[in-house]
Chains A and B, each alone.
Chain A
């Protein structure tokens, strides 16, 4: 096996995730792009494991998957709360104006 193939694949997946995080305005799509980046990191860990013939990287990839699950649960809870307060999850409109009073009027 040539380890350069999965490494380059992981780098390109990470770049795709970075592009998604930068370009997307919808918060749910943003979280999906973050998942792509985390998947690329896991691929690097797994490939490093194969090249070094051990299992530390896979244990860490397992940990990363758990952290990603926690992140998605918490992130989506925040997104839903944001939607409940603002009726919109477009990230351009978050936090710029700082007026929670105007938001709670229609709640």
Chain B
């Protein structure tokens, strides 16, 4: 166990525990706040694994934008602030499906990598320079397509959430 392993284990335990709270808590607002903890700890894992830019992008976009958007949606759908007991379906099939998927994937990956060791000394850190070179030399076209996708998603979100959409269908 190196220092990297210990850090990944610790941050991973925080992330996994918070993730489990996200899917088990019966207060909607707390699920959003636990999501902040889970994704923040995941950003820490990225940082330990030399993905600097990705860690900060994760903090900015997920913790900054996505979770705020979620909390706004919770407010706008007038979700109950306190406890609510009707959030979950029957648990047993979900435990079978989720546990099966998680443990199955874990077994496959653990069997594939065993206890192999990889030195981090020769790894170039994934800072903005390295990632910029990677994106704009090899993946410029997907980058541009993604920008169009983002624009389309924004326009689509505005078009969907116009208040008159439901009424106009009534007239025709």
- B-binding residues in A (CB < 8 A): 1-20, 22-26, 28-29, 31-33, 35-36, 39, 42-43, 46-47, 49-51, 53, 55-56, 58-59, 61-63, 65-74, 76-81, 83-85, 89-90, 92, 100, 103-104, 107
Binary interface encoding of chain B residues 148-163 relative to chain A, with 1 for a CB under 8 A from any of its CBs, else 0: 0110011011101101
Q: How many residues of B are in contact with the other chain, CB < 8 A?
A: 99
A77 near B22: Cβ-Cβ < 8 Å: no
Known contacts A53-B124, A62-B57: does B4 contact A1 (CB below 8 Å)? yes
Most buried by B among A28, A31, A89: A28
- Interface membership of B81, Cβ < 8 A: no
Residue of A nearest to B153 (CB): A70
A90 and B28 alpha carbons, distance in the complex (Å): 13
Q: Nearest CB to that of A103 among chain B residues?
A: B166
Q: Is the CB of A42 within 8 A of B54?
A: yes
A contact residues around B35 at 8 Å (CB): 32, 35-36
CB contact between B157 and one of A5, A18, A51, A77 (< 8 Å): that residue = A77
Q: Which residues of A contact B9 (CB under 8 A)?
A: 5
Cross-chain pairs A/B with CB under 8 angstroms, 20 sampled: A2-B1, A2-B115, A11-B108, A12-B16, A13-B15, A15-B100, A15-B103, A22-B93, A28-B28, A28-B74, A28-B79, A31-B70, A32-B22, A32-B70, A42-B46, A43-B46, A59-B138, A62-B57, A70-B150, A79-B73
User: With A7-B113, A53-B122, A79-B77 in contact, is A100–B157 under 8 Å at CB?
Assistant: no
Please indicate the chain B residues that have their CB under 8 angstroms from the CB of A51 in the complex: 118
By the criterion CB–CB under 8 Å, are B31 and A69 in contact? no
Give Cα distance in the complex from A68 to B35, angstroms.
15
Looking at chain A's contact residues, the main secondary structure is: helix
A89–B114 alpha-carbon span in the complex (Å): 44
Structural contact, B73 and A76, CB atoms closer than 8 A: yes
Evaluate whether A78 and B131 lie within 8 angstroms (CB atoms) in the complex, with A2-B115, A16-B16 already known: no
> Which residues of B1-55 are within 8 A (CB) of A?
1-2, 4-5, 8-9, 12, 15-16, 19-20, 22-23, 28, 31-32, 35, 38-39, 42, 45-46, 49-51, 53-54
Contacts of A59 in B (CB 8 A): 131, 134-135, 138-139
Please give, as numbers and ranges, the residues of chain A lying within 8 Å of B42 by CB-CB distance. Answer: 13, 39, 42-43
In the complex, which residues of chain B have a beta carbon less than 8 angstroms from the beta carbon of A72?
A: 66, 69-70
Contact yes or no, B20 A16, CB < 8 A = yes
